[in-house]
Amino acid sequence: MFKNQTPRQLSLYISLLSASAIAFLCLLLKALSILTISWQELGILFLSTAIIGFVVNFYLIRYYIFRRIKLIYKIIHRKKLPTDFKAGRIEMSKNILDQVEEEVDAWAEQNSKEMEELERLAGYRRRFIGDVSHELKTPIFNVQGFIHTLLDGALHDPEVNEKYLKRAAKNIERLQTIVEDLETINKLESGQMILEMQEFDVHELTDEVFADLEMRAQERNIRLMYKDGAAQHFRVRADKESIRQVLINLVHNSIKYGLEGGATKISFYDGESFVLVEVSDNGLGISDEHLNHVFDRFYRVDKSRSREAGGTGLGLSIVKHIIEAHKQTVNVRSAAGQGSTFGFTLEKA
């Protein structure tokens, strides 16, 4: 009966029960000839008791609810309470307790989600710091070793000094590349990198990328080519230099991890409002356990081979951030032993 009642209804029920109890007691005393009271007087007593009881209960319940709800709101709300609530003005005709229960449930659910997100971010931060430390430690340790060897006397050995200086320089270049890549990702994530949107031919841009990486491809006897049917030219709207970086990273990766003597193929697919660009190789491929992580920072499917090839482990993460900054999508399809295909979309001009 009292479930889901408003404070006003609850006050009315309590006052009527109280008045009925007093009236029943008076009738009992009258029956026992202990109390002399007329029916008219009994009716007036019942009515006055009900009215007084309703007023008292109404304000007592209102005060009790206000104090309790105010405390709950102070706990679950980050913002200041509304002025009406601070003044104690509660709408007693509404089911306040159900409303508060819903808000507490919503707060608990939101708080749980925030805690999960904080734990996820904390874990990501710990992994990121560990990865950065690990990636920087190797070249720093190498440079330190070469320099100390030179200072210990090898500087005056013409057969050793130039070789060690070249190795030290190579590791310093690697450090610089890691820092520049981290800076690029930071700018993309924080929105500091402004995209200069323009219209250009993505096929012509790919030709330029092929020309830039031709020497690297020849070193591994890998052919840079277009798939059959990819001769069509598409004009897209994007930041040309950022997309150049995307293509360079993807083609460079296919050269590094493709099978020697194989091929890197580019294909274009015409969508209604976008162009899908795919970069494929016939390398070793990526197993299912690694596919969901290939765009993570510093993630390497083959750690030893990646470092030998000179990668920073940030290239694919940069690709993902650049494409998402364009509000487009990037994906990967692969299977162990069957090569990999990386694809991304661009808005048609």
Is residue 310 pLDDT above 60, yes or no?
A: no
Question: Alpha-carbon distance 325 to 319, whole Å?
Answer: 10
| pTM of the shown model | 0.59
Instruction: Please report whether residue 118 resides in a domain.
Output: no
Q: Which of 76, 94, 112 is the last residue of a domain?
A: 94
Tens-digit pLDDT profile for residues 98-130: 566 676 677 777 777 888 877 876 776 776 676
More confident residue, 265 or 64: 265
Which of residues 101 and 292 earns the better pLDDT score? 292
pLDDT in tens, 236-266: 999 999 999 999 999 998 888 888 888 999 9
pLDDT band at 30 (very low <50, low <70, confident <90, very high): confident
Say if residue 74 is in the same domain as residue 149: no
Q: Sorting pLDDT into bands at 50, 70 and 90, what band is 293?
A: confident
Q: Is residue 317 part of a domain?
A: yes
pLDDT given for residue 305 in this prediction: 47
Residue 305 phi/psi, 5-degree rounding, is -70, -35
Domain containing residue 169: CATH number: 1.10.287.130
In a shared domain, residues 181 and 307: no
Q: In terms of domains, do 239 and 341 share one?
A: yes
Whole-Å CA distances, 186 to 93, 132, 181, 190, 246: 54, 14, 9, 6, 16
The reply to whether 112 falls in a domain is no
CA–CA gap between residue 195 and residue 309 (Å, rounded): 30
**Looking at the domain assignment, is residue 154 inside a domain?**
yes
**CA distances from residue 330 to 74, 195, 322, 344 in whole angstroms, order as listed:** 45, 18, 10, 4
Percent of the chain with pLDDT over 90: 18
Instruction: Please tell me the predicted confidence (pLDDT) of residue 79.
Output: 46
339 and 202 within one domain: yes
Contact 224, 252 (CB under 8 A): no
Q: What is the pLDDT of residue 7?
A: 61
Q: State the Cα angle at 181 between 176 and 287, rounded to 5°.
A: 120
Last residue of a domain, one of 190, 222, 244: 190
The domain in which residue 33 lies consists of: 7-94
Same domain assignment for residues 201 and 344: yes
> Which backbone phi and psi does 168 adopt, to 5 degrees?
-65, -45
pLDDT in tens, 15-25: 778 778 877 78
334, with CB counted inside 10 A (0-12, 13-18, 19+), is buried
Radius of gyration for the alpha carbons in the chain, expressed in angstroms and rounded = 38
Domain boundary pick from 190, 208, 237 = 190
The domain that holds 310 is classified in CATH as 3.30.565.10
3-state secondary structure at position 197: strand
Kindly state whether residue 128 falls inside one of the protein's structural domains.
Answer: yes
Q: Does the residue 107 lie in any domain?
A: no
Task: Specify whether 142 is located in the same domain as 47.
Answer: no
| Surface-to-core class of residue 1, CB atoms within 10 Å of its CB (0-12 exposed, 13-18 middle, 19+ buried) | exposed
231 lies in the same domain as 203: yes
**Do 312 and 329 reside in the same domain of the chain?**
yes
Same domain, 253 and 319: yes
Residue 228 and residue 298 in one domain: yes
pLDDT for res 165: 87
* Predicted local distance difference test score (pLDDT) of residue 83: 47
Is 325 within a domain? yes
The closest of 263, 274, 272, 266 to 238, measured between CA atoms, is: 274
> Quick one: tokens of 22?
């007093």
- Overall number of domains in the chain: 3
**Same domain flag for 165 and 235:** no
Indicate whether 54 and 134 sit together in one domain: no
**Is there a domain that residue 209 lies in?**
yes
